[in-house]
Structure formats: structure tokens, C-alpha cells
Chains A and B, each alone.
Chain A
């Protein structure tokens, strides 16, 4: 009997580990100096049985991860109010809480979350709201509450109700590594494997509406660019050229895709019209031109080129066809991504042999190195421009990490297993 229980248990554990294999954990390593103290009281569940999701826990985690808030521990709370009538400000002043969030959750068909935010010091309600949606999207509804609270208290639009794409890899020494293209919530929860392959998968990219993705897969034995619809699951192979087929980058209007092809000799930047599949060659140089990314206005592209001897960032103007160099500081600047404001540019910068994530202010031309680890790459900027997600190595494993654009907040998202790389932060998701 003892043996049977052990067998059943190990079978269950094996299944459970399969389920969480690609899941990320979060370790906050650095926050702002004086984070805002906020108490997120567990939301009252007004349905039968137990609540399907701890919504307050989702909000608490989001605010903590931003580094700008210090959520109060539940054990320290002197009460569990769920509406304004139950709020006693002295209970919260006593534990130095600046803000208090309470809420109620019900699920009659749809899930409904009502919440209220209080300023403890001024003893007044400062915000209230309602989120409704399918029960199986409960966590996403929680992230929307976080977005509203974050915007109310910081003045910056929240980016918690967004998603991440990344590649997780299981090493197979002496064989072929196992790659998985994974989609997860912005906090790493609810990972879904979109593609599994024994051949490399890389360069995941989002369509501007967040409904489609593109990536490079070697599944045919050669690199090819694919696009995949996240709603229907429909997949289309876009390229199959001799040589490189890489770096897909959707234009801001969603109609075309910049990419790297070497079919005509050296790697150059091409533009594919996604309706007609017609290709236009944008750059024509014997050097390496790669890693195209769009400026938010869609009028120009940034790309990496070693035409000057070392890799640097250049800008190609689609209207004039002119190319100009953008980066000058350091001997290696590559793979740029631009914030939606068109001002902050994140890139990979080499300093004394180490690769860091740096921020270049395109208005002042000031370059600020944001990270201190040695093998940082693949920066991806949040749609609200606040955080940069990137890949690095920690304890000989590939992990994802994040840093705020001012360098003040840092956290890591290691996977429970394997290497994780190439994060791509989604745009704001439509409802």
C-alpha cells in the first residue's frame, strides 16, 4: 500500500512537472529607494465554494514587480475590509500604509471584479472600478486592475495586462537541443507552448495588434520565417530563400514585415508586403545588415550593420532611402528596440568584452548602461516604456531579467528548468 501511494505520487509529480516546465518564477533584486506602501486586501469572493483565482494576489505581485510599490504582507493586516463601509483608516495608518485596495469578486457566468482604492493619509477614496470577463481569464482581469491602480498612482499607463513570448531550451549534450516557443502572461504565469522543435527557433516578434506572431524556425533544416495567428492557430511559412531568413519585424501599420535575407549575397534588409508577398530590398551593402526594427511612426527603420568595421546602429529612412549612423559610443552596439515614445532606444552594448543592455536617448544622444551582467542580450521594451526585459546568463543558465529604463528596478525571471531566451514583450492587448 505504501508502495502504491509512492507510485501514484511520483506519477502525479511527473505530470505536474511536465505542466510547469516552461513556467517562470520571479525574484525581485532591486526596487526604488522609497517604494509606496500599499495594502492589497484579499478580495471577498461572493460565489459558491472557493474563489477560482486570488485576484488580490495577482495585483499584489504586479505592483511589487514594478519595484515602485512595497505591498503590505497579509499577516500584518489588522482587518480584511472588502468595501468602503468596512475601512478603518487607523488600522492602516498603524502599519504605515499609504494606500489601501479592497475588492469583491463574483462569477455568475462572467467574472466581475469591483474594487476601491483609498488614500490612507488623506482618508478618502481616490479611485474605484469594475472589470468583467470570462472566468478562465481571471488572472488577466486581475492584471487590468493592476493597470488601473498603477496608472492612478504613477500617472503612467500600466502594462501588466500584456503577454510575453520567449524561447525555452532543454539542453541535449551531444544531441539536438529541444526548443519551445512559449507564450505567457507578463508575470510569467499560464505558459502555453506554441511550437516545439528539435531544430532552433528564434526571433519571436509581435504584430502591432498583438493577435499574430512571427518567428524563425529551422524545422525544415534551413531557416524560414513563419507567422502564426494566436486566435485561430493558423500558421503560414512566409520565406524559404537560400541563405539567411531572419529578424522578422512587423511594421506599425501591420501591413508589411521587415526581414533579413542573404539570397542576393550578403545579409540585407528587405520589406515584404504581407498581402502580396512582394519583396522590396531596402539596403544594398556587402557588409552585414541585420536586426531591423521600426521607429513607432513607421517612417524609418533602425538596423545593425558592420559597414563601418564594427556593428553599430543605423537608421534607414523609407521616404528618402537615406541611411545614417545612429550610435557612436563603444565598439559594439546592436539589436536596437525603440520605446513607443520614439525617444528611448534600448540596445546591446559591449564594454570591455562584456555585453550589457544600454539605453540611448535619441534626443540627447546620452548612452546609459542599465545592466551589469556579462552576456546580456535581446532587450524588449514594455509597451508603456517603463521596463526592459532581456536575456542573460545567471549561474550558467539562460534566464530572463528585467530592468527599469532608469536602472532603478531589477528583477529576474528564471525558469524552473532549462534555458530561457529571446523575450518579446507584447503591445497593449485589445479586449
Chain B
């Protein structure tokens, strides 16, 4: 600027004047546009928030539905096949897991009959049969961990089918 010739200065002034004139001429229109843009942004933001709230509400609804069916799936004696009641309960959990990337842990359990280490393997078979069903229904296997506790973690301590049936289970956590 220090070495700017006189003609250059004049041109700069001319442009500045023209700009000022232009601005003064459309003052109210500009404000309206800015306000509209801000409103649109705010609307978009609130729509986004609304969508997020809605998604959260939807997820909450799915989680509630999953919680309502419980996180324990029961098995028949000496079986690792999913029962119909377990499949229905499991479906609620699968739907609740589809919209997110949460990880789950499946803990397999058996009743007290039979040897401890063999039961450890049976508990794993049960946890894996739940896992396989979840994977087949779109839950990525890396999100699922199976751990067997065999007969080591009974819910009901006594003997007899009424206690045993409560202990033959997979817990989703």
C-alpha cells in the first residue's frame, strides 16, 4: 500500500464507495436472508435433535420391550436347543441391538446333574446356540462374548426339577 500509485488509490476509493452504496440500498433484505438462514439452521438442528430424541425414544422403547421379556433364556434337560419362548424373548433383544453397536455377554449355565467339566462344556454349547441365533439374525459376532459357568452359579440351590429348570439357562448381559 505504501507504494500504491495515485490512480490505484482512486480506484480503491471508487470500489469502496460503490460497495457502500450497494449495501445501504438492500439493508433490510440482507437481514431477512440472514434470519431465514439462521432459522433454517435452527430448524435443521431442532429437527436433528427431534430425530435423535425420537431415535432415543425408539431405542428406549426397544430396550424396554427387551427388558420386559427378561434377559434369561431357559433350556430343557440335556438340551442346548432354543425353546420357542426363548426365541420370542431373544427376538426382542435382537431388535433392540440392531440400531446400535452395543456388545453383549452370554453366560451359559446348567443344572447340578452330571460332571462339572462336562457341564462347563454344555453351558458353553447353550451360550453358543443363543449366539448363533443372534448372528444369523444380523448381530455381528464380534459384539457377542460367550462365557460358560457350567453348574457353578445356580440360581436355585436345591435339587429336583423345580430348582434344576431355573438353573438351565443363558443370561444375556
Contacts and interface: CB of A to CB of B under 8 A. Distances in A.
A70 interface: no
A348 B152 contact: no
In the complex, which range does the number of interface residues on chain B fall in? Answer: 20 to 34
B157 interface: yes
Nearest to A171: B157
Interface stretch (A7-15, A226-234, A243-251, A408-416): A243-251
Interface stretch (B20-28, B43-51, B64-72, B117-125): B117-125
Contacts of B124: 243-244, 262, 267
B121 A332 contact: no
Interface stretch (B2-10, B90-98, B143-151): B143-151
A404 to B, nearest CB: 22
A332 B114 contact: yes
A378 interface: yes
B159 A244 contact: no
B153 interface: yes
Interface string B120-162: 1110110000000000000000000111110011000111000
B117 A393 contact: no
A224 to B, nearest CB: 11
Nearest to B112: A375
B115 A335 contact: yes
Interface residues of A, number: 38
A355 B121 CA distance: 18
B83 interface: no
User: Which of B117, B149, B153 gathers the greatest number of chain A CB atoms within 10 Å?
Assistant: B117
Tell me what chain B mostly uses at the interface: helix, strand, loop, or mixed. Answer: mixed
A343 interface: no
Interface in A174-222: 176-177, 200, 202-203, 218, 221-222
B115 A396 contact: no
B118 A288 contact: yes
B113 A267 contact: no
B122 A288 contact: yes
A265 to B, nearest CB: 9
Nearest to B120: A246
B145 to A, nearest CB: 8
Contacts of A374: 159
Contacts of A203: 116-117
A260 interface: yes
A218 B149 contact: yes
Contacts of A350: 114
B118 A334 contact: yes
Interface in A394-424: 396, 421-422
A355 B116 CA distance: 12
A377 interface: yes
A288 B152 contact: no
A311 B159 contact: no
B140 to A, nearest CB: 16
B114 A243 contact: no
Nearest to A311: B118
Interface string B73-86: 00000000000000
A173 interface: yes
Contacts of A422: 116
Interface string A250-284: 00000000001010000100000000000000000
A375 B113 contact: yes
Contact of A222 (B117, B147, B152, B158): B147
A202 B148 contact: no
B159 A260 contact: no
Contacts of B121: 244, 260, 262, 267, 288, 290
A291 B146 contact: no
15 contacts: A171-B157, A200-B149, A221-B147, A223-B147, A244-B120, A262-B121, A290-B118, A291-B115, A311-B114, A332-B114, A334-B118, A335-B118, A348-B115, A377-B114, A396-B158
Given A200-B149, A262-B124, A422-B116, 15 more contacts: A173-B157, A221-B147, A242-B145, A244-B121, A291-B115, A304-B117, A311-B114, A334-B114, A335-B115, A335-B117, A377-B114, A393-B159, A396-B157, A396-B158, A396-B159
Interface of A: 171, 173, 176-177, 200, 202-203, 218, 221-223, 242-244, 246-247, 260, 262, 267, 288, 290-291, 304, 311, 332, 334-335, 348, 350, 355, 374-375, 377-378, 393, 396, 421-422
Q: Which 6 A-B pairs have the closest CB atoms?
A: A200-B152, A288-B121, A335-B115, A334-B115, A267-B121, A291-B117
